[in-house]
Amino acid sequence: MTVCFILGGPGSGKGTQCAKLVQDFGFVHMSAGDLLREEQQRPGSEYGELIQNCIKEGKIVPSEVTITLLEKKIIESDSNRFLIDGFPRQLDQALAFEKEVVESTLIIYLECSEEVMLKRLLKRGETSGRIDDNKETILKRFKTFLELSYPVVEHFRKSGKVHTVPCEDSVEEVYARVKPIFAELFKQK
């Protein structure tokens, strides 16, 4: 089984790049954020209120909740190739996922300034309807990323699995940097 983590700050383009990789390499894309939002809205969810409060506060949902949802999706899938974006968000999540589910093969870190990410997120917020696409929550999310999520990148960097990709350019220019990394490791579909 192949699991690739796509990491980067809020608005760095994780979902956008994943969509292109799915097209070219046949991976199944799982967005931790989308899974959590779906679970939050599922009638009778035991985690719904907890997830909603975390999202509203710009905080990280407890590891066991996110890992449970990701593992369930992996088990339900017919594929053995997964792109997981927006996860792991903390070092304990990374360690628990790799111990309990599967070890990652590759990590792409989309590097972007807060200024560019803020601009992208505010633009997305005009149409997304997401409660976390407002300036106050976005700034909290940046702080959370720097304090809790960036150490995950540093942890994986020691293992040689991290490929840092500057991502302030156009979608196409960023993908021109991401695609060869995958092409070297995985056959195109």
What is the pLDDT confidence band of residue 189, given thresholds at 50, 70 and 90?
Answer: low
Domain ranges of the chain: 2-181
pLDDT in tens, 55-99: 888 788 999 999 999 999 999 999 999 999 989 989 999 999 999
| Per-residue pLDDT, 157 | 96
Distance CA 83, CA 127 (A): 25
Q: Are 3 and 73 in contact (CB under 8 A)?
A: no
Q: What is the pLDDT of residues 16-41, one digit of tens each?
A: 999 999 999 999 999 998 999 999 99
Q: What is the pLDDT of residue 100?
A: 94
First to last CA, the chain: 16
Q: Could you write out the DSSP letters of every residue in 50-98?
A: HHHHHHHHTPPPPHHHHHHHHHHHHHH-S-SEEEEES---SHHHHHHHH
Give the helix ranges, DSSP H, for the chain: 14-25, 32-41, 48-57, 63-76, 91-100, 114-128, 135-144, 150-157, 171-185
Q: In angstroms, rounded to a whole number, what is the distance separating the alpha carbons of residues 29 and 85? A: 8
Residues sharing a CB contact under 8 Å with residue 188, sequence separation 6 or more, in sequence order: 24, 25
Please report, in range form, the residues annotated as the binding site for a ribonucleoside 5'-phosphate.
37, 59-61, 86-89, 93, 130, 141
Span 2-181 CATH architecture: 3-Layer(aba) Sandwich (3.40)
Which residues fall in the annotated binding site? 11-16, 37, 59-61, 86-89, 93, 124, 130, 141, 169
Binding residues for ATP: 11-16, 124, 169
For residue 76, which phi and psi values (nearest 5 degrees)? -75, -15
Closest CA to 141 of 107, 120, 114: 114
User: What mean pLDDT do residues 164-182 have?
Assistant: 97
Tell me what the mean pLDDT of segment 149-173 comes to.
Answer: 95
Average pLDDT value for residue range 3-11: 95
Query: Does position 154 have pLDDT exceeding 90, yes or no?
Result: yes
State the pLDDT at residue 188. 67
3-state secondary structure of 159: coil
Tens digits of residue pLDDT in 93-102: 999 999 999 9
Is residue 186 classed as helix, strand or coil in its secondary structure?
A: coil
Segment 123-153, tens digit of pLDDT: 887 777 777 777 888 888 899 899 988 999 9
* Separation CA 50–CA 53 (nearest Å): 5
